[in-house]
Amino acid sequence: MLKKFISSIVMIAVVVMTSVLSPLMAVAAGSISSASDTMSRLKASTPSDHTFLFVTPTGIAAGQSVSLTFSSGFTGVSGILFSDVDFAVGDTNVCSTATYTEKTLAGTPATTTWGVSSSGQIITILSGTDAVSASKCLRIKIGGNATNQSTGVNRITNGPTAATDTITVGGTFTDTGIISIEIMDSDQVSVTASVDQTMSFDLDTGITAGETAQPYAVPLGTLSSGSVTHSNGTSINQIFVDGGTNAAGGMNVSIRNANGVQGLKSTSTPADYIGSVTGTMAAGTPNYGLCVDSASVTGISRSSTYNTTCALASATNAVVGLTTTATDILTSAAPVTAHAQIVVNATVAAATPAHADYTDTLTFIATSSF
């Protein structure tokens, strides 16, 4: 009888011990894995954003919490609000490739809304009725990088450089881990450079574009009252303008002539000249002037004065009268690589005095605004 009583006591004891140990085994803590904290700044005493990634082997049950405890060097932890935090759960345990689902956050938890609070060096994320299954990657953003519900305003300030700082992952969800951070005296490198000012300008004259040697000239040949002589791409030279600059204010090209409104003047008889006035060229109406072929302009613009109807194939170009005062012909307001073709036009009347020495000299000036 005594032996049977003792056996009963032993069996009862085994049952009691088993019932005590079973729940302890069910909530045994796991170690987080793939843990990292990517910060926006590592410099000492500098506010920084944080992006935490780690895998929870156990998961988070309803009503459980995840906490991040920052070592004493960090400051501003207690000022973090739920609006400064994003909390997302990945669909796998591979943090780098998981697709994350953001959770709704508030100051306190309620059903599927998670509560976020901070005190001292600890930030706590607390579940209401929501849960996270085991072996999922968690992502927690803190600071200006938290943009899911609103853009975070408050940041955590780094500590000094004296020692390695840590963030301890814990909470009632039972998984634990430590993430180490090395705070630096400086995390930035200044790179400097300079760019020299540049400007190029070149004139050429010819039937087609290409480099020619000076002296540059446009021989108009014998003028007739029955037609307008003009640069044409076949027999009468054009003036080619090429240039470029890296000046912020761009480059202007201006032009003046030697004879002003008297245009083409006879060298032997200066009183005889073919005038230069603004207008449309017409055979038999004495005039001499320039225009810029509209189809040729690249990288630069014709000035308002020279923004006229002008083409190599036309005998009725709208020309601009020349003056001894420099007038803008091409303009830009930014760095430029420019090309343009200038058409020279002339015609005479039947009574225009005969001379073989009508001439004029054009002067081009390029100016960059650095």
Is residue 353 situated within a structural domain? yes
SS3 225: coil
Contacts of 274 (CB under 8 A, 6+ apart): 223, 263, 264, 265, 286, 287, 288, 346, 348, 352, 358
The CATH number covering residue 53 comes to: 2.60.40
Instruction: Find the largest Cα–Cα distance for the chain.
Output: 156
Rounded to the nearest angstrom, the gap between the alpha carbon of residue 194 and the centroid of all alpha carbons in its chain is 19
Q: Report the chain's mean pLDDT, rounded to a whole number.
A: 92
Whether residue 236 contacts residue 307, with contact meaning beta carbons closer than 8 Å, is answered with no
**128 shares its domain with 66:** yes
Tell which of 181, 216, 245 closes a domain: 181
Domain holding 99, by residue range, is: 31-181
Q: How many CB atoms lie within 10 A of CB 298?
A: 11
Mean pLDDT of 271-290: 98
- Tell me the C-alpha distance between 203 and 239, whole Å: 7
**159 shares its domain with 250:** no
Is residue 19 situated within a structural domain? no
Is residue 103 situated within a structural domain? yes
**46 shares its domain with 171:** yes
Query: Residue 216 carries which DSSP code?
Result: P
Q: Kindly report, residue by residue over 127-183, the tens digit of the pLDDT.
A: 999 999 999 999 999 999 999 999 999 999 999 987 789 999 999 999 999 999 999
**217 shares its domain with 298:** yes
SS3 percent helix, strand, coil of the chain, rounded to 5, is 10, 40, 50
pTM for the whole structure:
0.63
Predicted pLDDT at 163: 72
Is residue 278 situated within a structural domain? yes
**174 shares its domain with 206:** no
Is residue 7 situated within a structural domain? no
**152 shares its domain with 216:** no
Alpha helices (runs of H) in the chain, residue ranges in sequence order:
2-26
State the burial class of residue 189 (Cβ atoms within 10 Å of its Cβ: 0-12, 13-18, 19+).
exposed
Q: Kindly report, residue by residue over 87-141, the tens digit of the pLDDT.
A: 999 999 999 999 999 999 999 999 999 999 999 999 999 999 999 999 999 999 9
**92 shares its domain with 155:** yes
pLDDT band at 238 (very low <50, low <70, confident <90, very high): very high
**273 shares its domain with 312:** yes
DSSP 98-156: PPEEEPPEESS-BTTBEEEEEETTEEEEE-SS--B-SSEEEEEEESTT--SSS-----E
Predicted pLDDT at 28: 52
Q: Kindly report, residue by residue over 196-206, the tens digit of the pLDDT.
A: 999 999 999 99
Tell which of 181, 207, 224 closes a domain: 181
Predicted pLDDT at 162: 72
**350 shares its domain with 307:** yes
**165 shares its domain with 295:** no
Query: Total structural domains in the chain?
Result: 2
Cα torsion through 274, 275, 280, 283, rounded to 10 = -20
- Tell me the C-alpha distance between 318 and 294, whole Å: 11
Percent residues over pLDDT 70 in the chain: 92
Instruction: Name the amino acid, one letter, at 38.
Output: T
Tell which of 181, 213, 248 closes a domain: 181
Look at the alpha carbons of 127, 132, 134, 139 in this order and tell me if their dihedral is positive or negative: negative
Q: Kindly report, residue by residue over 26-63, the tens digit of the pLDDT.
A: 345 699 999 999 999 999 999 999 999 999 999 999 99
Predicted pLDDT at 23: 38
Is residue 324 situated within a structural domain? yes
Is residue 25 situated within a structural domain? no
* Nearest alpha-carbon partner for 90 in 29, 132, 129, 30: 132
Predicted pLDDT at 3: 43
DSSP 16-33: HHHHHHHHHHHT---B-E
Asked if residue 25 has pLDDT above 70, the reply is: no
SS3 4: helix
C-alpha distance from residue 58 to each of 89, 99, 101, 133, 135 (Å): 14, 19, 19, 7, 7
**159 shares its domain with 210:** no
Predicted pLDDT at 349: 98
Cα torsion through 204, 209, 210, 216, rounded to 10 = -20
Q: Kindly report, residue by residue over 284-343, the tens digit of the pLDDT.
A: 999 999 999 999 999 999 999 999 999 999 999 999 999 999 999 999 999 999 999 999
**230 shares its domain with 357:** yes
Is residue 360 situated within a structural domain? yes
- Tell me the C-alpha distance between 81 and 96, whole Å: 27
- Tell me the C-alpha distance between 328 and 168, whole Å: 71
